[in-house]
């Protein structure tokens, strides 16, 4: 197959995928999105003869637009622009999970400092304020008291991009010092790990320690449903343990997996490429039938 890889930075994750694709003699077209112009009718030359495009854009804004162009050019893309749109925005992510009855932390959105302050007081302390767009645990605030809340809201309202004036306030979940990352292809878990830290943020990007995690039936079911809720694809589903159950706090659409691959004996890039091959085969089957 001929795989187009959208990128602006080749991380270890992309190197693992490129290596796996090359080992299987697939053709690869690396597409640096910074160097392309996307016409509303005609696809760039780089898109000629691609069987599938894999979106590995580091910048969410580019991911959202380029996947939409792929759709317009009728080139299959992983993940789809609809999935990207839901996953890229924490509000849409929370709404999609809730719509499907998937347990997720209670969340309010407010558009002014006063309304946000009111919702923070109603949640009580601590609670969490997150940017609606963003990753790697950046600009997340655990609010321990009223003074901190007032200061953070003031800073966001004064210094931030307009997106920071969409105040996403969430209940603080007392997790056991760790959360769970599951990499899944169309809802089927490939591998899972726990990310542990003394800090309240347990992102691998923040230096959390990782260990392989065995999913039980309930977690598997939640991963499948969370994947369906955002439109499926190659996803990173994040869960927190809540005593005897779980809550799904978000689903990521350009999932990083280098830490997971180092944690497990499972060949993560191999499983991803298996899934891509099956996807292309299914797409080509559809064309023949049509």
Q: Which of 21, 141, 256, 263 binds other proteins (CB under 8 A)?
A: 256
242 lies in the site for other proteins, by CB under 8 A: no
Determine the size of the site formed for other proteins (CB under 8 A). 29
Which residues, numbered 189-208, are part of the site for other proteins (CB under 8 A)? 205
Residue of 16, 133, 153, 215 interacting with other proteins (CB under 8 A):
133
Q: Quick one: which of 4, 7, 192, 213 contacts other proteins (CB under 8 A)?
A: 7
Identity of the residue, 60 or 106, whose beta carbon is nearer to other proteins in the bound complex: 60
Is residue 91 close enough to count as binding other proteins by CB under 8 A?
no
Segment lying near other proteins (by CB under 8 A), choices 13-21, 47-55, 169-177, 222-230: 13-21
Which one of 136, 188, 218, 282 is in contact with other proteins (CB under 8 A)? 136
Selected from 27, 32, 48, 121, the binder of other proteins by CB under 8 A is: 32
For other proteins, which stretch binds (CB under 8 A), given 53-61, 68-76, 148-156, 265-273?
Answer: 53-61
- Rule CB under 8 A: is residue 58 a binding residue for other proteins? yes
18 near other proteins, judged by CB under 8 A: yes
In the bound state with other proteins, the residue whose beta carbon lies nearer, of 206 and 220, is 206
Residue 282 to residues 76, 243, 261, 277, 279: CA-CA distances in angstroms? 11, 41, 27, 9, 5
Q: Site for other proteins (CB under 8 A): which residue of 25, 74, 161, 289?
A: 161
Q: Single out the segment in contact with other proteins by CB under 8 A; choices: 103-111, 189-197, 210-218, 247-255.
A: 247-255
Comparison of 64 and 276: residue with beta carbon closer to other proteins: 64
Q: How far is CA 118 from CA 93, 121, 123, 167, 240, in A?
A: 23, 5, 9, 11, 26
CB of 7 to other proteins, least distance (A): 6
The residue whose two tokens read 């800090």 is 199
| Residue 15 touches other proteins, criterion: CB under 8 A | yes
* Residue 56 CB, nearest approach to other proteins (Å): 10
Q: Which of 138, 146, 155, 199 binds other proteins (CB under 8 A)?
A: 138
3-19 b/e (C-beta count within 10 Å ≥ 16 → b)? bbbbbeeeeebbebbbe
Task: State how beta strands 245-252 and 234-242 pair.
Answer: antiparallel
Instruction: Tell me how long the chain is.
Output: 290
DSSP string, 100-160: TT-----EEEESSHHHHHHHHHHH-SSEEEE-SS--TTTT-EEE-SHHHHHHHHHHHHHHS
Q: Are 3 and 51 in contact (CB under 8 A)?
A: yes
Beta bridge partners, 55, equal: 6
The rounded distance, in Å, linking the Cα atoms of 159 and 265 is 45
List 109's β-bridge partners, or say none: 168
Buried b vs exposed e over 53-89: b needs ≥16 C-beta within 10 Å?
bbbbbbebebbbbbbbbbeebebbbbbbbebbbbbbb
Question: Which positions lie near other proteins, rule CB under 8 A?
Answer: 7-11, 14-15, 18-19, 30, 32, 58-61, 133-136, 138-139, 161, 205, 236, 252-256
């Amino acid at each position: 197959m001929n795989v187009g890889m959208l990128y602006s930075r080749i991380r270890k994750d992309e190197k693992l995928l490129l290596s796996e694709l090359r080992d299987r003699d697939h053709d690869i077209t690396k597409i640096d999105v910074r160097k392309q112009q996307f016409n509303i009718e005609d696809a760039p030359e780089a898109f000629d003869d691609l069987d599938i495009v894999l979106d590995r854009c580091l910048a969410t804004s580019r991911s959202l637009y380029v996947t939409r162009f792929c759709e317009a050019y009728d080139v299959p893309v992983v993940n789809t622009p609809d999935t990207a749109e839901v996953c890229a925005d924490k509000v849409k992510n929370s709404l999609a999970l809730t719509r499907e009855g998937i347990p997720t932390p209670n969340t309010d959105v407010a558009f002014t400092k006063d309304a946000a302050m009111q919702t923070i007081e109603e949640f009580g302390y601590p609670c969490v304020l997150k940017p609606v767009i963003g990753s790697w645990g950046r600009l997340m605030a655990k609010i321990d008291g009223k003074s901190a809340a007032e200061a953070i809201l003031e800073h966001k309202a004064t210094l931030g991009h307009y997106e920071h004036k969409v105040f996403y306030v969430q209940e603080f979940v007392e997790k056991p010092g760790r959360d769970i990352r599951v990499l899944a292809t169309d809802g089927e878990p490939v591998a899972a790990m726990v990310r542990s830290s003394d800090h309240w943020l347990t992102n691998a990007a923040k230096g959390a320690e990782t260990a392989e995690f065995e999913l039980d039936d309930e977690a598997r079911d939640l991963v499948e449903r969370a994947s369906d809720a955002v439109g499926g694809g190659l996803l990173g589903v994040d869960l927190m343990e809540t005593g005897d159950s779980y809550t799904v706090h978000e689903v990521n659409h350009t999932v990083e997996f280098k830490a997971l691959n180092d944690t497990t004996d499972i060949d993560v890039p191999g499983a991803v490429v298996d899934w891509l091959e099956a996807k292309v085969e299914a797409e080509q089957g559809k064309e023949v039938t049509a």
